[in-house]
Structure 1
């Protein structure tokens, strides 16, 4: 399974968030909690480990809520002041919400192998000032993933996936009630099947479901006509191919989605855990519901044939995981100084195709 959260075989260092446009501090292998900037954008330095790699970034935080618009823009460039390699933001009203989950994501992917954003030894990620003053100074979480390069010939071999028709997930044996999370950091990992949940008005239940290349996810809530369902990709971009009250279906995981202008595909271009968010409106009644999940497809021709990583003896993506599944994303407190461990993706992609 080509895992989003598996990194390349050499360390990736993040420098501390520093008020822009000053030069960010040198990276150091330590971490500490910091807060969202209050008066000027902050900067994170990204050290590239392999030429041609793609950086994927996401930022999330729990906002103050009850706002006409909340959000933060994140950017990536080749200098601390540059934003030309990628940017992203989701500004949304949160009227009536007491603890909204606010997300933003960005990627440096380009189809030009020699583009400065693809070959620069260092890139700089910017975290903007929150649009709502009430969110300035709040803790946030940054996720950074460095994806190996994909040779041009391999990109040309990939084919656009076909999304299965929607069908309600078949009822399965109910598990014990899930101790759901409320953010990506504390969301439990669950498998396909039926999962009893307790929903509170205005609250949010979050679970994680692993998806490989060529797979898609169907999610449906039974027990409350007012329940909402949303699916986010591993980097918290939207991954919703179809939806209706009480249900949602993800896109088929495909590398090709990153070449689309469709915002609903932004979270569908990487294999890895999907975040299923289930909620109730503020004025709804508390509800005991069942979340039914189904995973369709299996890895095949859509598994990217990544370029060889530097160290052939790198551990497999499942090393160190008792459940044998995808390793959990490395969630980094915003502005933390961290060295992220890395493993190669190449062998897993080949194995998924049975080579």
Structure 2
């Protein structure tokens, strides 16, 4: 386990509960609120024991929570529930239903929260499952909802909290459960990790007030951003002729069974190109992961224009297909195209699983023949990257493309937990490619436990993989760490990376999917995935560098009302989509129906430094964390 100073738990709480400043705010999925959050605190007798940081667990929790409340923004709707606070013994009546909502969800309850935190004491049993059930009821059925569970032990009552978390997550795509384990190990830690995994959240270890603060701070920032899957609810049709019409935008659907579900898109202009991407959760990675198919067709019974299958490197899987064809073809000219999305997993039933579908209609070229386009650029070669000696701190990566902050070239100091996926976005213009390198700090704990090396991947704006695979080839950089052999005993840094192809219109004519997906300018998403089999978090730096001349080889597009040409800083798919024809909402979720109001491109922008007091506190906390871990 990585240990830090007491000062850091307060910093983690602030990071979890403070939103980003307006200039770097993640877009709220609901125009009226950034989502509701219920803190669920363990008040069992074991909280009076000392944590590794030296304080009692209850004192560490009080200290961290008190700092958090002081920094809560006025618009944040937060409530507080405790459990194990009233009934002393398991043999006493009501021990397994001992949970109280001590502060109602509200924005004007800071004094109440402060008083409740001061009154928070260790006392009884640990009915975690029941407390989670009640927290779900507290939050209601609509809108984006987050439960933050802070506990130091294994549940002593039925129902099983892991099963409860799974049930709650199935009630809606817009609910997640983040969990902070306070100085836990063994079965208790595994159970709490299961709660986070089943609730589509993140598990954090905290051994002191400082670590608890940091964990809760990160949770809060992510709670203010879109969740992993987002969009307008839509119901696909099992028969192509009944398919609903989708416009440019993001949608939430289910996979359906068998041959999946159908959708259609209507061209605005002849020779425009439709790009369709899908995002879904995966219970495994690589060939053991869940997979999805997306195909584009020129008609219900016509030949297929294109198809792809997703491949998960982390707990989120992506893929995308394009309607573009190299010659006169119905795929380029048909007024209507049909899209089929279906599960192809062999591990589990995905029929009811949510899937995000994004649609982008790219304008046609001014010269449809493309005769004026420059040749396809050569495959870029890796240039040595040297991490900055003083990495930038304060950036909280997203957990998927939907929540990724936009960053610039430089080196960033980060931490990642086992089973976590982190994503940042980088603007990329025509003629450019991006390099991404991670340098992970290896400790004795990494060498003594399972180490599943992190993956670095670059994805395009419509969820397509756009990186070349340096591993296992003659072009693998000599200073990278092999992921196919055991770690050398004396190795203290794990280095790996990825590089995108250079953006060029002619790339789309290539058969290799990662290269053909590099045919449009727009944001590139750097994803770092750290396997769930790991036992120890990883402190690492992420170094980014953009190469090439911006705008080189840019095509000339026809000006078509309603269509937007791709640019370096565009996600291409902004806000949510509009549904026509016979489409019916898949749910009544408010969280998935409104576009962001803080940023027109629908993505959080993180300027260097982050700027305001709240995030300054977070940055300071992360500096302390980095120094503390570097000394360990």
- Does the TM-score normalized on the shorter chain lie above 0.5? yes
Residue 405 (structure 2) pairs with residue 188 (structure 1): yes
Residue 261 (structure 2) pairs with residue 63 (structure 1): no
Partner of 2:395: 178
Residue 375 (structure 2) pairs with residue 159 (structure 1): yes
Residue 353 (structure 2) pairs with residue 138 (structure 1): yes
SS in 2 for 1:157: coil
Residue 428 (structure 2) pairs with residue 211 (structure 1): yes
In the superposition, relative to structure 1, how do residues 33 and 161 fare at CA in structure 2: closer, same or farther (>3 Å)? closer
Partner of 1:349: none
The one-character-per-residue Cα deviations of 1:238-288 (angstroms, maximum 9, x if unpaired) are 222353441111111111111112233133111111111112233433111
The CA distance in 1 between the partners of 2:432 and 2:247, in whole Å, is 38
Partner of 1:293: 544
Residue 441 (structure 2) pairs with residue 241 (structure 1): no
In the superposition, relative to structure 1, how do residues 252 and 139 fare at CA in structure 2: closer, same or farther (>3 Å)? same
Partner of 2:175: none
Between the two proteins, the alignment pairs up a number of residues equal to 315
State whether residues 15 and 24 of structure 1, in contact with CA within 8 Å, keep that contact through their aligned partners in structure 2: no
Higher mean alpha-carbon deviation, 243-252 vs 289-298, is at 243-252
In the superposition, relative to structure 1, how do residues 289 and 261 fare at CA in structure 2: closer, same or farther (>3 Å)? same
State whether residues 142 and 331 of structure 1, in contact with CA within 8 Å, keep that contact through their aligned partners in structure 2: no
Higher mean alpha-carbon deviation, 34-43 vs 164-173, is at 164-173
Partner of 2:340: 126
State whether residues 59 and 103 of structure 1, in contact with CA within 8 Å, keep that contact through their aligned partners in structure 2: yes
Report deviation, 1:156.
4.2
State whether residues 277 and 358 of structure 2, in contact with CA within 8 Å, keep that contact through their aligned partners in structure 1: yes
In the superposition, relative to structure 1, how do residues 176 and 140 fare at CA in structure 2: closer, same or farther (>3 Å)? same
Partner of 1:261: 511
In the superposition, relative to structure 1, how do residues 162 and 29 fare at CA in structure 2: closer, same or farther (>3 Å)? closer
Residue 455 (structure 2) pairs with residue 228 (structure 1): yes
State whether residues 174 and 196 of structure 1, in contact with CA within 8 Å, keep that contact through their aligned partners in structure 2: yes
Aligned match for 1:42, one of 236, 239, 261: 261
SS in 2 for 1:185: helix
Aligned match for 2:320, one of 105, 123, 139: 105
TM-score (normalised: structure 1): 0.77
Higher mean alpha-carbon deviation, 165-174 vs 69-78, is at 165-174
State whether residues 14 and 46 of structure 1, in contact with CA within 8 Å, keep that contact through their aligned partners in structure 2: no
Higher mean alpha-carbon deviation, 51-60 vs 142-151, is at 142-151
* Higher share in helix: 2
Q: What 5-or-longer segments of structure 1 have no aligned partner?
A: 1-12, 319-323, 341-355
The CA distance in 2 between the partners of 1:316 and 1:307, in whole Å, is 9
Q: What 5-or-longer segments of structure 2 have no aligned partner?
A: 1-231, 443-452, 472-480, 482-495, 586-592, 596-632
The CA distance in 2 between the partners of 1:105 and 1:315, in whole Å, is 19
State whether residues 15 and 27 of structure 1, in contact with CA within 8 Å, keep that contact through their aligned partners in structure 2: no
The one-character-per-residue Cα deviations of 1:191-220 (angstroms, maximum 9, x if unpaired) are 111111111123211111110000010110
CA RMSD of aligned residues (A): 3.5
TM-score (normalised: structure 2): 0.45
The CA distance in 2 between the partners of 1:339 and 1:45, in whole Å, is 22
Partner of 1:23: 242
Report deviation, 1:73.
0.9
Aligned match for 2:385, one of 169, 174, 181: 169
SS in 1 for 2:277: strand
The CA distance in 2 between the partners of 1:164 and 1:29, in whole Å, is 31
Superposed counterparts of 1:263-282, under 5 Å: 263-282=513-532
Aligned match for 1:305, one of 532, 544, 556: 556
Report deviation, 1:336.
7.7
Report deviation, 1:56.
0.8
SS in 1 for 2:283: coil
SS in 1 for 2:550: coil
Partner of 1:353: none
Determine which structure has greater relative contact order: mean sequence separation of CA pairs < 8 Å that are 6+ residues apart, divided by chain length.
1
The CA distance in 1 between the partners of 2:306 and 2:267, in whole Å, is 15
